[in-house]
Structure formats: C-alpha cells, structure tokens
Amino acid sequence: MKNNFFYTFLIILLCQSNFAQYTDVINSNRPGESMSAYSVGKKIIQIESGLNYISSKHELLDYEAKGFNVDLVARYGFFIEELEFVAGLNFQSDRYKNSFDVTNAIDERRTGIKSLSIGLKFLVFDPFKNYQ
C-alpha cells in the first residue's frame, strides 16, 4: 500500500508541466498582498492568482463565516516598456451564520465578486537602467 502511494506520487512529480518566462527579471506578486515596482514589459501578459481559506468566528457578536477566497491579477505591458495595465479581481464564497439576534438569526451562503480594480502602473525610476 505504501509503495503504491509512493509510485503514484513519483509519477505525478515527474509528469508535471513546466512553463518559462522569457524576460530577464521575473516579476511576481502575491495578489492582494504585494505589488512589484517593475512593469512586466512591452507586449507581455502575466496572470497571477491565489487561493485562501476563510474561517472567522466572533464570540461577542456571535457570528461565524467559513469559505474560500480567490485573488486574480492580470498585468499587460503596452505602448512603452515602463507602462502596464493592471486588473485585479477578488472572488469570495462563504457560509455566514449570525445568531446575535435570536428572532432574526442569519444562516446564508454568500457568493460573488468582493472587489474589482482596474488601473495603470508607470515605472518612474529604474535604478538598474543603464547600470555600468
């Protein structure tokens, strides 16, 4: 039994697909947690995502929420090297229970887009440009 698990794990590990980014510097963020100062480069599309588990409980207000949250950020460099378009999406699905008020107790499933942001980012100063 242990050997079957080991061989299955080994096959999955060896058959994984790898992808590469052809820029000199790999610009990566954790959506919703950080934002790199550098742009992705002209005509480059980069998609970053993250998955979070939510488990929140408050004794005093007598509520509980459990579910998941997905962060997605798409970055596209256009026009010039220092300019990029950034779009961020935060999707959340959870079960919310609140029994603070016994006559109006709440037990509902909430699903939807928590936040959506769209913007431009421009690199003003690059300390490594024309570095000798």
φ/ψ of 104, rounded to 5, equals -120, 45
To which residue do tokens 């229970």 refer? 97
User: Considering the entire predicted model, what is its pTM?
Assistant: 0.64
- Sorted by where each begins, the domain ranges of the chain are 39-124
Token digits of residue 56? 């929140």
- Segment 89-125, tens digit of pLDDT: 999 999 999 887 777 888 899 899 999 999 998 888 7
Q: Taking a C-beta distance cutoff of 8 angstroms, is the pair 91, 70 a contact? A: yes
Half-sphere exposure of 80 (CA within 13 A, CB side): 7
Q: Hey, which bits of the chain come out as E strands?
A: 45-58, 63-77, 83-98, 106-122
- Segment 22-68, tens digit of pLDDT: 555 555 666 656 677 777 888 888 888 888 898 989 888 888 999 99
Q: Give the SS3 label for residue 132.
A: coil
Q: Taking a C-beta distance cutoff of 8 angstroms, is the pair 77, 42 a contact? A: yes
